[in-house]
């Protein structure tokens, strides 16, 4: 069976989490409903993350990696993953493992009908301030995009690769992936998933970049939406 799903794992200074990422990914791949591989994207980490990633990949061919020459940000890491993936489906999960790869099968069960399936973090285990800032940011995005999604920032998604590769990425666009699928006349769905406390490492996003960043990105999205080119080929010869 050919590999059908590649899971992108962006990494920035997550050396304390990578052993657990490998363990949880291998546990999922052993029971996954489709053949699955993992693509680490090291976003210029300044700790020992890349050394650990290289070790993991050398020991298991289901793991591969891309290593940036410096830190470019989460959107660039996801974009690089989309550019390099060759499987039918592409997934995305954060390396802090506040979501579990075991829930990918929940999303995959809907991907035949939909072009993007995203998780909704139920019973979130974050602080009150983080939950409130995320709720406000999601409300801002939803008012601009009208995508109907309750948790666009959820770090657990599955997308049909043909749609993912057509997304014109810019900084901050990782927050707008469902909206970008709608611009392609694709279909999207949200599914409740599990959420866990971060048990190692440090979060890379604070309150202000959860609020001000999304607001600024909304205006960039509106400009891009106005200029977006979308077409379908009827036939060719």
Candidates 23, 20, 140, 160; CA nearest to 88 is 160
Q: Is residue 236 part of a domain?
A: no
In a 13 Å sphere around the CA of 64, the CA atoms on its Cβ side amount to 13
Q: Which residues of 10-43 are buried (b: 16+ CB within 10 A; e: fewer)?
A: bbbbbbbbbeebbebbeebbeebebebbbbbbbb
CA–CA separation, 39 and 28 (whole Å):
15
| Per-residue model confidence (pLDDT) at position 125 | 52
Q: Is residue 152 part of a domain?
A: yes
| Per-residue model confidence (pLDDT) at position 117 | 97
| Per-residue model confidence (pLDDT) at position 225 | 78
CATH label of the domain that carries residue 220:
3.90.550.10
Classified as helix, coil or strand, 1 is: coil
Q: Is residue 98 part of a domain?
A: yes
Low-confidence spans in the chain with pLDDT less than 70: 1-3, 123-146, 150, 197-214
Contacts of 45 (CB under 8 A, 6+ apart): 11, 12, 13, 14, 15, 71
| Per-residue model confidence (pLDDT) at position 33 | 92
Q: Is residue 232 part of a domain?
A: no
Candidates 135, 146, 101; CA nearest to 119 is 101
Q: Is residue 43 part of a domain?
A: yes
Q: What is the dihedral of CA 196, 202, 205, 207, to 10 degrees?
A: 80
| Per-residue model confidence (pLDDT) at position 213 | 65
| Per-residue model confidence (pLDDT) at position 1 | 42
Per the structure, the count of domains in the chain is 1
Q: What is the pTM of this model?
A: 0.82
| Per-residue model confidence (pLDDT) at position 146 | 67
Q: Is residue 100 part of a domain?
A: yes
Q: Is residue 115 part of a domain?
A: yes
| Per-residue model confidence (pLDDT) at position 161 | 97
Q: Is residue 74 part of a domain?
A: yes
Domain region containing 28: 5-227
Candidates 121, 98, 131; CA nearest to 17 is 98
What stretch of H or E contains 108? helix 104-108
């Amino acid at each position: 069976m050919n590999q059908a799903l590649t899971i992108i794992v962006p990494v920035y200074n997550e050396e304390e989490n990578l052993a657990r990422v490998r363990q949880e990914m291998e546990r999922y791949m052993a029971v996954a409903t489709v053949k699955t591989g993992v693509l680490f994207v090291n976003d210029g980490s300044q700790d020992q993350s890349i050394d650990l990633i290289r070790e993991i990949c050398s020991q298991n061919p289901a793991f591969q990696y891309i290593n940036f020459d410096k830190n470019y940000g989460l959107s660039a890491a996801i974009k690089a993953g989309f550019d390099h993936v060759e499987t039918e489906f592409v997934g995305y999960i954060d390396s802090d493992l506040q979501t579990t790869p075991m829930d990918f099968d929940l999303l995959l069960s809907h991907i035949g009908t939909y072009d993007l399936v995203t998780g909704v973090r139920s019973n979130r285990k974050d602080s009150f301030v983080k939950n409130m800032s995320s709720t406000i940011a999601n409300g801002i995005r939803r008012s601009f995009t009208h995508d109907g999604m309750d948790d666009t920032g959820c770090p657990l998604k599955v997308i049909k690769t043909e749609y993912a590769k057509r997304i014109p990425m810019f900084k901050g666009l990782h927050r707008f992936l469902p909206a970008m699928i709608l611009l392609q006349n694709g279909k999207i769905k949200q599914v409740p998933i599990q959420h866990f406390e971060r048990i190692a490492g440090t979060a890379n996003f604070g309150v202000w970049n959860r609020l001000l960043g999304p607001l600024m990105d909304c205006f960039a999205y509106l400009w891009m939406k106005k200029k977006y080119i979308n077409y379908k080929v009827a036939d060719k010869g």
